[in-house]
């Protein structure tokens, strides 16, 4: 992905070509086995690259407030307090409820955008998760000189880009479920292996060897209590216990 701090990586002026290129990159990123933080960083960076955005932020709805979880670029020239903040919150919540992107004009005094922004930039507000897997919004700021036709391309682009966040979240949940199923299956195999033998010594060696494989550790030791002392009955990877090494 391109840096948002220097010159644009684009040598052409066709916004449609930009968004097609970035959408393909983001679709690839959504399929990668990476952390949520890594994916969201790549996603927001790509979105800003496609739109030549000067600032972008992802905020999560927590209770009745939005908490910023990721921010890039030069902070928007806004003072979100008082009535402006209240109006912006309406658009943020509305984006999540209606699952639609909205482009707020700079310092508009005309409804329905009146007092929703005191920035000299256009501010695009959109839901991050169209399928409502995550109550969050993304906001992007780009210059007021951007033409209306180009802004419409950006709105359509962000509507497609947020769908890729849902793709990533779904794949991530499936990977977690698969890992959990793998652990559950391994636990069942462990119990079955231990229960195959009624002989204490054989069971002890089964426990240490299967436990070592199950928890992926270096060594497991099985101790048996004798009065106030404990005696090693089995050590993983060894056929018998060397009493001198215990």
pLDDT at 75: 65
d(CA 16, CA 11): 13
Classify residue 216 as left (phi > 0), alpha (psi -120 to 50) or beta.
Answer: left
Strands (E), the chain: 55-62, 65-73, 102-104, 122-127, 136-142, 221-226, 229-235
Per residue in 7-56, pLDDT (tens digit) is 444 445 577 788 888 888 998 888 888 888 899 999 999 999 888 888 89
- Coil, helix or strand for 187? helix
Q: What is the pTM of this model?
A: 0.61
Per residue in 51-77, pLDDT (tens digit) is 888 889 899 988 888 888 899 987 656
d(CA 45, CA 63): 27
CA angle, 96 then 38 then 133, to 5°: 25
- pLDDT-derived band at 186 (thresholds 50, 70, 90) equals low
- For the cut 50, the answer to whether the pLDDT of residue 185 exceeds it is yes
Per residue in 188-211, pLDDT (tens digit) is 666 666 566 667 777 787 778 877
Q: In what side-by-side order are the strands of the sheet with 122-127?
A: 65-73, 55-62, 136-142, 122-127, 102-104
């Amino acid at each position: 992905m391109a840096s948002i701090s220097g010159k644009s990586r684009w040598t052409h002026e066709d916004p449609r070509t930009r968004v097609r290129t970035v959408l393909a990159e983001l679709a690839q990123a959504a399929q990668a086995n990476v952390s949520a933080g890594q994916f969201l960083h790549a996603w927001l960076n790509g979105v800003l690259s496609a739109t030549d955005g000067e600032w972008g932020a992802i905020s999560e709805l927590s209770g009745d407030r939005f908490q910023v979880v990721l921010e890039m670029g030069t902070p928007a020239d806004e003072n979100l307090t008082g009535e402006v903040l209240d109006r912006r919150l309406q658009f943020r919540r509305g984006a999540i409820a209606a699952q639609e992107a909205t482009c707020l004009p700079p310092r508009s005094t005309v409804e329905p955008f009146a007092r929703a922004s005191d920035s000299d930039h256009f501010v695009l507000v959109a839901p991050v998760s169209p399928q409502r897997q995550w109550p969050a919004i993304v906001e992007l700021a780009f210059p007021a000189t951007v033409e209306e036709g180009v802004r419409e391309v950006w709105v359509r682009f962000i509507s497609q880009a947020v769908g890729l966040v849902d793709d990533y979240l779904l794949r991530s949940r499936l990977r977690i479920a698969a890992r959990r199923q793998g652990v559950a299956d391994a636990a069942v195999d462990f119990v079955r292996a231990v229960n195959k033998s009624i002989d204490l010594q054989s069971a002890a060696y089964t426990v240490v060897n299967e436990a070592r494989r199950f928890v992926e550790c270096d060594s497991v030791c099985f101790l048996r209590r004798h009065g106030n002392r404990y005696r090693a009955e089995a050590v993983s990877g060894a056929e018998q216990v060397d009493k001198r090494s215990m």
